[in-house]
Amino acid sequence: MAEKPLDVIIATDCGSTTTKAILIERKGDVYRQTFRGESPTTVEAPFEDVTRGVLNSIQEVEELSGRRILDGERIITPNDGGKTGVDIYVSTSSAGGGLQMMVAGAVKAMTGESAQRCALGGGAIVMDVLASNDGRHGHEKIERIRQLRPDMILLSGGTDGGTVTHVVELAEYVSAADPKPRLGIGYKLPIIYAGNVGARSEIQRILGEKAALTVTDNIRPTLERENLMPARHKIHDLFLEHVMAQAPGYKKLMSWTGAPILPTPAAVGSIMETIAKRQGITVLGADIGGATTDVFSVFQGIFNRTVSANLGMSYSISNVLAEAGLANIMRWVPFDVDEGDLRNRIKNKMIRPTTVPQTLDELQIEQAICREALRLALDQHKLLAVGLKGIQQERGIADAFDQTATGQTLIRMEDLDLIVGSGGILSHAPRRMQSMVMMVDAYQPLGVTRLAVDSIFMMPHLGVLATVNEKAAMDVFERDCMVYLGDCVAAAGTGRSGESCMTYEVTASDGSRHEGSLPFGALKMLPLAEGLTAKGVFKPAKGFDCGAGRGKPMEADLRGGAAGLLLDGRGRPLVLPDSKAERVAALQKWASAVGLYPA
Amino acid sequence: MAHTYTPGLRVTDRAVLRKRRLLPLQGTVRVAVGDAVKAESVVASTDLPGKVHTVNVVNALGIAANEIKTFMLKREGDPVAVDEALAENKPLLKWFKTAVKSPVAGKIENISEVTGQVLLREPPRALELRAYVDGTIVEVMAREGVVVETEASFVQGIFGIGGEQVGEIARACERPDEDLTPEKLKPEHRDKIVFGGAYVPSATLTRAREIGVRGIVVGGFDDSDLRAILGYDLGVAITGTENVGFTLILTEGFGRIAMAKRTFDLLGSKVGCRASLSGATQIRAGVLRPEIVIPLGAGETNAARPPAGEREGLKPGDPIRLIRAPYFGRLAKVRSLPPELTSIATESPVRVLEAEFSDGASAVVPRANVEIIES
């Protein structure tokens, strides 16, 4: 399809607390993001009309840019070639709690997991996964369905031509629960059936009257194949038709947009997938917000997304403490702090989520919690971003001593090329190096890995824009959205403190040169500014691996960034000293070595 | 530019409040517009569908699923009693007869010829929705609920646990910076809503439960005590359904923080008055704060103020509470609002204000770290 000729684009993301608008304009051959505005989201009382927040945020763009975009409550299209109008308006939304789904599959580790991946990739929060073998009694499942009040249910189960009993049983439970949708009292709950084709007539009989049933292709037609896209498209259709249409003001909003509104995480996932495909790289992305942390990955060409619904930096900050445990948070705090005091501080952030750290120690505590939230969210992501389970594998003689089970995680840090961080604590850290070290500590990348942050969280806008004009989205992504922090080179292995773990020779495109030896246990930052590239040669000591194998030298093309080139000699896995005094000393030494905090 | 969002907690001696009371499922509204109601009055009711139980008949009888109907003694829609036979096999010898009995009383909801399961539903459970506050019905949403209006003194807390309670206000501390220690709770505080000062230790909460106190309102308490009382670490601030024996409301936050004098004085002026309180707190999407509603008595109501209008944002002279370290809990007023971004100790560029304390000292703090004390 030919792309529409667009010169001026206005895009919004209606988040749960803030609606963010950006203006994108074509400058010569390339598109640039030029102005932004934001305003509180107005889905809740007293306004109960999402368009109010949208208009306010666009008004701010008007004031800053001098472009007239609104005529009362109408977006002026097309652009008149001067300073009036835009060519298209697009939007994403996660307001009102986003898209909340429940999924069901016959076997938890097979169709249950496929259904979960399908819904998550579609931008939903998965409230629960029902399965025939999930250990709950029938009445417990029914009670659970009734309590949760999801926006939508994805029902799957069985391979095509396989048994119908389990999926019909799940349908019977759903029917008995007779769940009501969260929004729109009196409306039927949308249910997508994407299971065994042989059970369709039974499913239609059981659920056809009670729910707004949509039937689509099986997400697991055979054990060896997952087919998520047809069901994912249905999720997006129903999101607009049923869920969004019930939310206050969305009918009006939908009439304004030049492309279907996407759930925010689906748009972010789409842009990440596009980047990975275009550049032929593996990507790990994390968007850490106040309430949730979304993790996206593209490994082996497979896109996965998970959302950790209760890991965040404000509303859910206490849950990070509950899940990680106090000791895991304390291990990143570079000073001594009383446990009771720390607990109270975290709870006070939870109940007053809009406050910001005002002292350095408060900032360091929040950044410690961020490391744990990122780590936990990645752990959860690794469990779902896996190969298909229960499939037949061909094994040769070479596998005799190395028989791996099916369903291994796809997330292999040694294969990772790019980490992209997003969310206030990463995008707005006072020093870029803080964002870089937080992500390195949490993810512990191996070998050479590039790191970046989303400057002002515009990936959702670009994700939806890519559906109408990919070039515009990619131009802005490369030039205005991504802030490259630099590369991290980490040596895997362990050794004695102070002994060399690798030597390095780095020659930058401006002619500068750095060489030396990195002691085990050290962190070092080499200056390599944004816009520069470099050739690096890293020779690991015996027992260490810089990405080319143990003891083997590694050559890499490096790219500069806002932080620089980080050499990480702390080993993998990164082990912090047990003693509090030694741990604090180590954290302070690392912080000082890379200029993490003001002196 | 949109002005800074500066949330504030309302503490007011007079306000017109409207409370929406909605059924979880459609039902019957039992009052009409204009009716005067007490907090305990039932305003609407509904029948919650009974629990569903599953009985796998085909497994029990060793038959095929598609044969199930020939072995059933009951049909869909039939009522059943506990231990009543649902199905039985047909052996040649009577001695070998096996019957599948109902584990509950209710009715047959579904008999499946695919899975061989029988779904039984218990009788519906009646749910009665109460008014929660003394007041007047001003709106009826057919089959869904009502809006109750009341003229009342109103105090919002910052965090609470426990559900709705009604009781008389009682004072347990003489000063807002005093701790609410266990010996300050007396047997006469049974069924009362007791307010204290800066801090409540866990021993006081234990005593409150023993005495039968309905509610405690206090400046602060420790998170470690919250964990002890709930039995788990509260991860996300969605509360209101805890069953700990009373409702607890913090007016300031976690730690030892003197209750704002204005809150303390207002509650002090209402000792002996009937109040409704709720600990329900929800900080995400549609903020809900715990509250104490003290309806005005006859003769007090005529001069009630109209509902507060929309705030304009901060301005010099506004009374504020500082809500983040290092000034957490201190009260001040706005001295100035510099428009430019200012780099604070963390090196973050933020919008700030200059706060002036009662002793004349001042401090520059991020605007995000203050809240207006609203009236």
Q: A-chain residues within 8 Å CB-CB of B107?
A: none
Q: What is the DSSP letter of B28?
A: E
Instruction: Give how far A448 is from chain B: nearest CA, Å.
Output: 30
Q: What is the DSSP letter of B66?
A: G
User: Which residues of B, range 112-171, sit inside 8 Å of A by Cβ?
Assistant: 112, 114-115, 117, 119, 121, 144, 158-159
Strand-pairing partners, residue A286, are A295, A421
Query: What mean pLDDT do residues B57-65 have?
Result: 90
Asked if residue B136 is part of any domain, the answer here is: no
- Chain A contact for B51, CB < 8 A? yes
- What's the rounded Cα separation, in Å, for the pair B4 and B367? 7
CA distances from B53 to A68, A192, A207 (A): 62, 25, 19
Beta strands in B157-281 (DSSP E): 159-161, 164-171, 192-195, 215-221, 247-254, 274-278
**Last residue of a domain, which of B69, B101, B121?**
B121
Contacts of B19 (CB under 8 A, 6+ apart): B131, B132, B133, B135, B147, B148, B149, B150, B293
Q: Closest residue of B to A41, CA-based?
A: B285
* Averaged confidence pLDDT in chain A: 89
**Is the Cβ pair B236, A318 closer than 8 Å?**
yes
| pLDDT for the residue numbered A1 | 44
With a cut of 80, say whether residue B316 has pLDDT above it. Answer: yes
Beta strands in A381-493 (DSSP E): 418-422, 447-454, 482-490
Indicate if B231 and B270 belong to the same structural domain. Answer: yes
- Chain A contact for B284, CB < 8 A? yes
Rg of chain A (C-alpha set) = 25
**Is the Cβ pair A347, B223 closer than 8 Å?**
yes
Among the residue ranges A68-82, A287-301, A431-445, B207-221, the one predicted with the least confidence is A287-301
Indicate if B286 and B364 belong to the same structural domain. Answer: no
Q: B-chain residues within 8 Å CB-CB of A360?
A: 345-346
Indicate if B271 and B341 belong to the same structural domain. Answer: no
| pLDDT for the residue numbered B375 | 60
**Is the Cβ pair B112, A172 closer than 8 Å?**
yes
HSE (CB half, 13 Å, CA atoms) of A108? 10
Query: Domain spans of chain A?
Result: 8-95, 98-251, 283-387+406-594
Asked if residue B301 is part of any domain, the answer here is: no
**Is the Cβ pair A172, B158 closer than 8 Å?**
no
Query: What mean pLDDT do residues A289-315 have?
Result: 86
Domain hosting B198: range is 9-16+152-295
Query: What mean pLDDT do residues B65-81 have?
Result: 93
Query: What mean pLDDT do residues A547-558 have?
Result: 94
**Is the Cβ pair B323, A352 closer than 8 Å?**
yes
- What's the rounded Cα separation, in Å, for the pair A161 and A225? 14
Strand-pairing partners, residue A524, are A567
With a cut of 70, say whether residue B61 has pLDDT above it. Answer: yes
**Chain pair A-B, CB pairs under 8 angstroms:** 174
With a cut of 90, say whether residue B364 has pLDDT above it. Answer: yes
- What's the rounded Cα separation, in Å, for the pair B353 and B363? 8
Confidence of residue A437 (pLDDT cuts 50, 70, 90): very high
Instruction: Give how far A312 is from chain B: nearest CA, Å.
Output: 10
**Is the Cβ pair B255, A348 closer than 8 Å?**
yes
User: Which residues of B, range 178-207, sit inside 8 Å of A by Cβ?
Assistant: none
Asked if residue B142 is part of any domain, the answer here is: no
Asked if residue B128 is part of any domain, the answer here is: no
Confidence of residue A137 (pLDDT cuts 50, 70, 90): confident
**Is the Cβ pair A360, B114 closer than 8 Å?**
no
With a cut of 50, say whether residue A506 has pLDDT above it. Answer: yes
Q: B-chain residues within 8 Å CB-CB of A598?
A: 345, 347
DSSP assignment of A128-178, as one string? EEEETTSS--HHHHHHHHHHH--SEEEE--S-TTS--HHHHHHHHHHHHH-
pLDDT digits over A33-71, tens only? 999 998 877 776 667 788 998 999 999 999 999 999 999
- Find the length of chain A: 599
Residue pair A168/A203 in contact by the 8 Å Cβ criterion = yes
Among the residue ranges A1-15, A500-514, B158-172, the one predicted with the least confidence is A1-15
The torsion angles phi and psi of A536, rounded to 5 degrees, stand at -125, 140
Asked if residue B114 is part of any domain, the answer here is: yes
Q: Which CATH class is domain A8-95?
A: alpha beta
**Last residue of a domain, which of B244, B261, B295?**
B295
Q: What percent of chain B has pLDDT over 90?
A: 65
Q: B-chain residues within 8 Å CB-CB of A96?
A: 285
Q: What percent of chain A has pLDDT over 70?
A: 94
Indicate if B76 and B185 belong to the same structural domain. Answer: no
Indicate if B160 and B286 belong to the same structural domain. Answer: yes
- Chain A contact for B365, CB < 8 A? yes
- Residue B143 gets the label, from left (phi > 0), alpha (psi -120 to 50) or beta, of left
Residue pair A205/A223 in contact by the 8 Å Cβ criterion = no
Q: What total of structural domains would you count in chain B? A: 3
DSSP assignment of B227-244, as one string? HHHHSS---SSB-S---S
**Is the Cβ pair A176, B235 closer than 8 Å?**
no
CB count in 10 Å sphere of residue A346: 22
| pLDDT for the residue numbered A477 | 92
Indicate if B285 and B340 belong to the same structural domain. Answer: no
pLDDT digits over A230-258, tens only? 998 899 888 877 777 777 888 899 999 99
Instruction: Give how far A56 is from chain B: nearest CA, Å.
Output: 8
With a cut of 80, say whether residue B107 has pLDDT above it. Answer: yes
- Chain A contact for B285, CB < 8 A? yes
- SS3 (DSSP) at B125: strand
Name the one residue in this structure whose structure tokens are 């002793």: B359
**Is the Cβ pair A340, B223 closer than 8 Å?**
yes
With a cut of 50, say whether residue B2 has pLDDT above it. Answer: no
- What's the rounded Cα separation, in Å, for the pair A475 and A232? 27
- Chain A contact for B369, CB < 8 A? yes
* Averaged confidence pLDDT in chain B: 89
**Is the Cβ pair B236, A45 closer than 8 Å?**
no
**Is the Cβ pair B7, A357 closer than 8 Å?**
no
Q: Closest residue of A to B250, CA-based?
A: A351
Which candidate from A142, A344, A354 shows the least CB-CB separation from B52?
A142
Q: Closest residue of A to B108, CA-based?
A: A176
- SS3 (DSSP) at A62: helix
**Is the Cβ pair A310, B366 closer than 8 Å?**
no
Q: B-chain residues within 8 Å CB-CB of A178?
A: 49
pLDDT digits over A360-410, tens only? 999 999 999 999 999 999 998 998 887 776 666 555 555 555 555 667 788
| pLDDT for the residue numbered A384 | 84
Q: Closest residue of A to B53, CA-based?
A: A139
The torsion angles phi and psi of A124, rounded to 5 degrees, stand at -95, 160
Q: B-chain residues within 8 Å CB-CB of A97?
A: 284-285
- Chain A contact for B103, CB < 8 A? no
| pLDDT for the residue numbered B345 | 95
With a cut of 60, say whether residue B6 has pLDDT above it. Answer: no
- Chain A contact for B307, CB < 8 A? no
Indicate if B157 and B109 belong to the same structural domain. Answer: no
**Is the Cβ pair B224, A45 closer than 8 Å?**
no
Side by side, the strands of the sheet bearing A99-105 are: A124-131, A99-105, A152-155, A190-193, A212-215
B338, with CB counted inside 10 A (0-12, 13-18, 19+), is exposed
**Is the Cβ pair A356, B1 closer than 8 Å?**
no
pLDDT digits over B12-26, tens only? 899 999 999 988 778
Instruction: Give how far B90 is from chain A: nearest CA, Å.
Output: 25
Indicate if B70 and B195 belong to the same structural domain. Answer: no
**Is the Cβ pair B369, A355 closer than 8 Å?**
yes
Asked if residue B129 is part of any domain, the answer here is: no
Indicate if B156 and B291 belong to the same structural domain. Answer: yes
Indicate if B156 and B282 belong to the same structural domain. Answer: yes
User: Which residues of B, range 339-358, sit inside 8 Å of A by Cβ?
Assistant: 344-348, 350
Token pair belonging to A447: 């070998």
| pLDDT for the residue numbered B1 | 35
- What's the rounded Cα separation, in Å, for the pair A152 and B337? 47
- What's the rounded Cα separation, in Å, for the pair A237 and A421? 29
CA distances from A300 to A385, A391, A452, A578, A580 (A): 11, 18, 21, 37, 41
Indicate if B166 and B291 belong to the same structural domain. Answer: yes
- What A24-32 contacts at long range (C-beta under 8 Å, 24+ apart), as own/partner pairs, is A24/A465, A24/A472, A24/A476, A26/A472, A30/A475, A30/A479, A31/A471, A31/A472, A31/A475, A31/A476, A32/A475, A32/A476, A32/A479, A32/A480
| CATH number of the domain within which B107 lies | 2.40.50
* Topology (CATH) of A98-251: Rossmann fold (3.40.50)
| CATH number of the domain within which B331 lies | 2.30.30
Asked if residue B268 is part of any domain, the answer here is: yes
Indicate if B247 and B341 belong to the same structural domain. Answer: no
Cis peptide leading into A78, omega within 30 of 0?
yes
Asked if residue B303 is part of any domain, the answer here is: no
CA distances from A46 to A50, A52, A246, B12 (A): 11, 11, 17, 20
Q: Closest residue of A to B344, CA-based?
A: A358
